[in-house]
Amino acid sequence: MKRLENKVAIITGGAAGIGAATAVKFAEDGAKVIIWDLDETKGKALAAQLNATFAKVNTANYAEIETAAKAVNDQFGRIDILINNAGITRDSTLKKMTIEQWQQVIDVNLTGVFYCTKIISEYMLVNNWGRIINASSVVGIYGNFGQANYVATKSALIGMTKTLARELGRKGITVNAIAPGFIATEMVAAMPENVIEAMKAKIPLARLGDPKEIANVYAFLASDEASYLNGHTLSVDGGMTV
């Protein structure tokens, strides 16, 4: 039997980057994959490739999540796994950061995770089983210049993960987080070469991470192999934070 055989998994921000790699990995491991994203073109194409399900969902919109989660439960009869992967950046120093930049990142990266977890955990509680995994970041642990909004959300997710692990653990639902380092996503690939080289210089493995390497950790935490891990934030950063 495959590691995630017939588990129903929702992956937010699943159309590209780490989310897309996770959708591929989960499908390979036997899960019934549901991709939530705002990018319909990429999302539908990936869903067709994987024989998965796609829905255009804004995770900062409570009503949209309610509707989409109900549709998943109606189709499959349950929801087993939630990967809170969706996130955005609106980088700026404190002096230059606008209220809009602050609020946009809070809405998606933090409030969106709260919305998704609040709604989807109710379906997990019915079966007394679930895996919720939140995407934090190494900058949520150590901070980063020009990312007060992003760092605030990623730090908050670590605290939320610990709290929800205490609340939901007794109901058979584990809540964990990952803290990726510098990963070779489309966004990073668009950066100047000198910036990428500076990133690599901070990493003992001397390279950026591959999205597949983050997907592998998501898959582990979603599986029965991680059944006694709860409330933990796992850094996946090539040793950058050693």
Can you tell me whether residue 175 is helix, strand or coil?
strand
Cβ atoms < 10 Å from Cβ of 85: 28
Can you tell me whether residue 58 is helix, strand or coil?
coil
Q: Are 154 and 139 in contact (CB under 8 A)?
A: yes
Could you confirm whether 150 is annotated as catalytic? yes
Q: Are 178 and 222 in contact (CB under 8 A)?
A: no
Q: Are 69 and 123 in contact (CB under 8 A)?
A: yes
> Which residue intervals of the chain are DSSP H helices?
17-28, 40-50, 62-76, 99-106, 112-127, 139-142, 148-168, 186-189, 193-201, 211-222
- Mutual angle of helices 99-106 and 148-168, in 10-degree steps: 30
Among the listed residues 115, 123, 150, 218, the single catalytic one is 150
For residue 157, what are its two tokens? 């997710």
Positions marked catalytic: 150
